[in-house]
Amino acid sequence: MAGSTHPTVGVLALQGDFREHIAVLGALGADAVPVKRPEELERVAGLVIPGGESTVMDKLSRMFGMAEPLKAAVASGMPVYGTCAGLIMLADTLLDAIEGQQTLGGFDLVVRRNAFGSQLDSFETDLDIPVLGDPAVHAVFIRAPVVESVGAKATTLASLSDGRVVAVEQDNLLGTSFHPEMTGDTRFHEYFLRKVAAA
């Protein structure tokens, strides 16, 4: 892992598999903490938005005054990594949202929720991600979103064999449709922590 310091990295803990992210980041030497309140966000140098249900994260973040501080953090250049629901939360434009659902935005993307169908269509596969090198990343997609269109500011990091984009980057932002926190492959989290160290 890059850097000899121990950056404090938050994981948005309103709902979802935030404990798994905290465990991975902690094992990589970061001081990983759950973030549910605006004052907790102020203490972190980077943030992971975990997998979970995006409609619930959206509602709770607005209800408890987290949405505006989160938007400000993204705009200020704080490194933020979204997995699955987290990627949805970061997208500028969301398709197949429920009525009234909002995103934080900031990531120049069009993302579609539940792009593969029901749970029966959830799957795991190996994915070549050039920026992480060999071997391929084992990627788990759970009722996952896909990036339908990558804006001018964002870059594609990986696509499925059918061309659908499932990993993206834009300056300090990182997003994956799948869940590296579930497989024990820590390369995405290491990549993210290098952004935190460089920020």
Partner 1 sequence: MSTDKNEQLGQSSLNGTSRVKRGLAEMLKGGVIMDVVTADQAKIAEDAGAVAVMALERVPADIRSQGGVARMSDPDLIDGIIAAVSIPVMAKARIGHFVEAQVLEALKVDYIDESEVLSPADYVNHIDKWNFSVPFVCGATNLGEALRRITEGAAMIRSKGEAGTGDVSEATKHIRTILGEISALKGKSKDELYVAAKELQAPYDLVREVAEAGKLPVVLFTAGGVATPADAALMMQLGADGVFVGSGIFKSGDPAKRAAAIVKATTFYEDAAIIAEASRGLGEAMVGINVSDIAEPHRLATRGW
Least distance CB 167 / partner 1 (angstroms): 9
Type of residue numbered 40: E
Tell which one of 20, 92, 148, 171 touches partner 1 (CB under 8 A): 20
Judged by CB under 8 A, which stretch of 2-10, 68-76, 104-112, 154-162 contacts partner 1? 154-162
Binding mask 108-137 for partner 1 (x = CB under 8 A): -----xx--xxxxxxxxxxxx-x-----x-
- For the question of residue 179 being annotated catalytic, the response is yes
Assess 75 for contact with partner 1 (CB under 8 A): no
Interacting residue ranges for partner 1, rule: CB under 8 A: 13-20, 36, 51-53, 55-56, 59-60, 63-64, 84-85, 96, 98-100, 113-114, 117-128, 130, 136, 140-143, 156-163, 179, 182-183
Catalytic residue set: 84, 179, 181
